[in-house]
Structure 1
Amino acid sequence: MRKIKHIVIHCTATVEGKSFSASDIDRWHKERGWKGIGYHYIIGLDGTIEEGRAENKIGAHVKRHNRHSVGIAYIGGLNKRLSPKDTRTRKQKRALKELLITLKRKYPQAIILGHRDFSEDLNRNGIIEPFEFSKACPCFDARKEYRNL
């Protein structure tokens, strides 16, 4: 059993309103030379939760932090001009919260973070600030939004 320290939320960096599945992401990741889908869970536009990589397997979603994390991605994250945007539908928000509650019961010590929260602290002040984000993903402040779960 893996010791889970983080539950990491991602977006797929796809345009809002365009539907994709775990099998699409699996194909994309294989095309990049990976073994397969790197996320453990995918949340579709309609709130459907699909399993990606088996939860007991090490993911491929946050460099240097995969061994002790579970990765969740929601479909979306870009507006029509391809700029970062929180595109989660109401159904995605509801499904994500329910999944996080389930995972927190299973891994009560795990901290919920967004992918961007793993950026380097460039000014070494102990806080990853917006100007330091190497990625916008998941395009909202997951740490703040889910701090009370």
Structure 2
Amino acid sequence: MAKLRYLVLHCTATPEGRAVTSDEIRRWHTAPVAKGGRGWKQVGYTDMIHLDGKVERLVSNNEDAEVDPWEVTNGAVGYNQISRHVVYVGGCAKDGKTPKDTRTPQQLEALKRYVLNFHAKHPCVRIIGHNEVAKKACPSFDVQRWLRSIGINQ
């Protein structure tokens, strides 16, 4: 068990408007490498925000300020033991390659509610984008600027 220190925001890096299911995410992350997956033991995210704004729990947790071994997800190398991870569906332009903030109005509202609620429960936990701890475009928007726009100044 470790103290929760980060909430990491992600995107699925899928083309704008393309729906993604939790089964797909699980397959991408946990299928053997030989079968096109990453071979992980656990999916990479605690929660997923669908195009319509629905928030789906992928890995259960007890909502406390500790990361129990059964709550660990594989969202960011070196940060998984001390983080929770939330992903929104999208993050790429229609070409499937170019990073783009593709959050729908419903996703924007759902992510805002999610983050504000999380921050109210865990004000000492730092909220970051995956790109702040890895050389990636994910989540395809400036998390710190967005946080300020919704009233969170870390």
Residue in 2 aligned with 1:107?
122
Residue in 2 aligned with 1:44?
50
Residue in 1 aligned with 2:138?
137
**2:88 aligns with one of 74, 77, 80:** 74
Q: Is 1:62 paired with 2:63?
A: no
1:13-52 pair list within 5 angstroms: 13-31=13-31, 32-52=38-58
**1:116 aligns with one of 123, 131, 135:** 131
1:67 Cα deviation (Å)? Answer: 1.0
1:43-98 deviations in whole A, cap 9, x for unaligned? 00000000012235111101001111110000001111221000000100100010
Distance change >3 Å, CA 93–CA 66, structure 1 → 2: same
Gaps of 5+ in 1: 120-133
**2:9 alignment partner, SS class:** strand
Give the counterpart letter for 1:53 in structure 2. Answer: V
In 2, distance between residues paired with 1:49 and 1:69?
A: 18
Q: Is 1:10 paired with 2:10?
A: yes
Residue in 1 aligned with 2:35?
none
1:76-124 deviations in whole A, cap 9, x for unaligned? 01111221000000100100010111111221101111000013xxxxx
Give the counterpart letter for 1:71 in structure 2. Answer: H
**2:109 aligns with one of 48, 71, 94:** 94
In 2, distance between residues paired with 1:46 and 1:14?
A: 15
TM-score scaled by length of structure 1:
0.85
Aligned length: 135
Give the counterpart letter for 2:42 in structure 1. Answer: G
In 2, distance between residues paired with 1:4 and 1:73?
A: 18
In 2, distance between residues paired with 1:66 and 1:17?
A: 28
Gaps of 5+ in 2: 32-37, 62-67
**1:23 alignment partner, SS class:** helix
**2:7 alignment partner, SS class:** strand
